[in-house]
Structure 1
């Protein structure tokens, strides 16, 4: 199996997939802890479905670089979602449901009405589950992913203390002079960037798993915010790499395999947490 894997590494598209997959897993895990603690875990679902709708529009117009449309639309939706979620008449979960279902329905409707592909079902399946798109990345797309991933990591490191304060107690953060709304907006924009990047890896329906599972797994064992974040990042990278290796060797769908490894890791961490708690 090792020789077989080394043989696959000779192909550029396999190396591209591993690099992008590891970077996406790292970025997803960093803000996953914040989203879980703020009870905003399903923002990934809402934004991923918005990205699906934007991809459908980009496909209709035959745009060569779909990210030029998908990224701005997803970021704008993240901002609107944050603002709508703060409205007393429309709570956060209802706002996510509205945007999620609406964007998914309109995206699929547009792809059916203005279909330019002879394999519509295959295109939809690839977008929703990321079955093959991660293995068709170009060198330019890899560099875009690297640049955006570095930007996400730098933002998280620079504003770590502010994100920590906003995550646990917004009212105290505001009383201490921190602009909680500004940092909530920053979190929403960074999550939008991560969602767009992750669509190539696991597809729009499985993105939330990439964000949530590493954070929840880390919380089974550790208690401090810093420890949970660091372990979540390490675990997410390991699971993404392991899932892609299994997918390449066994010929299984990339996104589903990565999520399955994340689920297995969560089960193991839960057992470890239970045993250590009993002790």
Structure 2
């Protein structure tokens, strides 16, 4: 249990708690808008940015954020161009992200082991710079959701009604997509690009089963994510397991228990 008091574990716990707040906070809106797969897309694009960061000697997470934000603008542009096929934008950007990541992997064979940490998560390697970046994104996301909560609520359930009521739908769509890009690009070092979408979607999936209102679903999704992060880090630290994978498996277990409990309660 000595690992829990170690400095690197304390940094990991702080970073995990911050992402445990922002990921489900954004994820609930994505799930309701049927954009769950956008997490995987932006994660792949972020990995391309991280790889380029290692290749050029630029702060990897910073480069990943730049790539993810630009990709979020591209997704919104394509969604407007193909209104009847919104998921097409996600597929196109994901393909581009994977292609760029593969290209940068080929150009920089020497740093590939470092990039692998971003694929599967390397939360124990978080430094103070990483925490400052994650903290800044957390504050930005939390404040944005608080300010535009009612507007995002209406947008998530009925975009056409939001437009008719005079809301700036284009701006709100861009805000939620950019916020998603920021959260994912800062979360990949914590849970990994291959697992980050689980932190966006599974807490929301659990909360939608048990919540009786939208506000409850937001609160429950954050609580569920934080429980999984803390328990996952402790279990992974004590038994020397992969922290990102442990967190995601705990989330899946919580979802299964929620589904079983709900079914048992209703029968």
Given the alignment, which residue of 120, 130, 149 partners 1:129?
Answer: 120
Correspondence for 1:101:
95
Residue 51 of structure 1 deviates from its aligned partner by 0.3
Matched position secondary structure for 1:141: helix
Given the alignment, which residue of 201, 215, 224 partners 1:235?
Answer: 224
Correspondence for 2:152:
163
Q: Pick which of 108-117 and 147-156 moved more.
A: 108-117
CA distance in 2, matches of 1:136, 1:124: 13
Correspondence for 1:270:
259
CA distance in 2, matches of 1:90, 1:161: 26
Q: Is the CA contact (8 Å cut-off) linking 1:84 and 1:90 kept in structure 2?
A: no
Residue 66 of structure 1 deviates from its aligned partner by 2.1
CA distance in 1, matches of 2:46, 2:129: 20
Q: Is the CA contact (8 Å cut-off) linking 2:49 and 2:66 kept in structure 1?
A: no
Q: Is the CA contact (8 Å cut-off) linking 2:82 and 2:88 kept in structure 1?
A: no
Residue 169 of structure 1 deviates from its aligned partner by 1.0
Cα deviation code 1:101-133 (max 9, x no counterpart): 32123212322233233xx3x334312111xx2
CA distance in 2, matches of 1:217, 1:206: 17
Residue 202 of structure 1 deviates from its aligned partner by 1.1
Q: Is the CA contact (8 Å cut-off) linking 2:24 and 2:199 kept in structure 1?
A: yes
Using structure 2 for the length normalisation, give the TM-score.
0.95
- Go from structure 1 to structure 2 and tell me whether the alpha carbon gap of 1:223 and 1:82 turns closer, same or farther (over 3 Å shift): farther
Q: Is the CA contact (8 Å cut-off) linking 1:24 and 1:198 kept in structure 2?
A: yes
Correspondence for 1:48:
43
CA distance in 1, matches of 2:118, 2:129: 20
Correspondence for 1:72:
66
CA distance in 2, matches of 1:106, 1:8: 38
Question: Number of matched residues?
Answer: 267
Matched position secondary structure for 2:116: helix
CA distance in 1, matches of 2:27, 2:231: 20
Residue 226 of structure 1 deviates from its aligned partner by 1.0
Q: Does 1:225 align with 2:214?
A: yes
Poorly superposed stretches of 4+, deviation over 6 Å: none
Correspondence for 1:173:
162
Given the alignment, which residue of 180, 205, 208 partners 2:197?
Answer: 208
Correspondence for 2:139:
150
Q: Does 1:27 align with 2:22?
A: yes
CA distance in 2, matches of 1:79, 1:152: 17
Superposition CA RMSD, Å: 1.5
CA distance in 2, matches of 1:86, 1:264: 37
Q: Is the CA contact (8 Å cut-off) linking 1:27 and 1:153 kept in structure 2?
A: yes
More helix by share: 2
Structure 2 stretches lacking a partner, 5+ long: none
Given the alignment, which residue of 243, 246, 249 partners 1:257?
Answer: 246
Residue 148 of structure 1 deviates from its aligned partner by 1.5
CA distance in 2, matches of 1:210, 1:86: 27
Residue 45 of structure 1 deviates from its aligned partner by 0.5
Q: Is the CA contact (8 Å cut-off) linking 1:221 and 1:270 kept in structure 2?
A: no
Structure 1 stretches lacking a partner, 5+ long: none
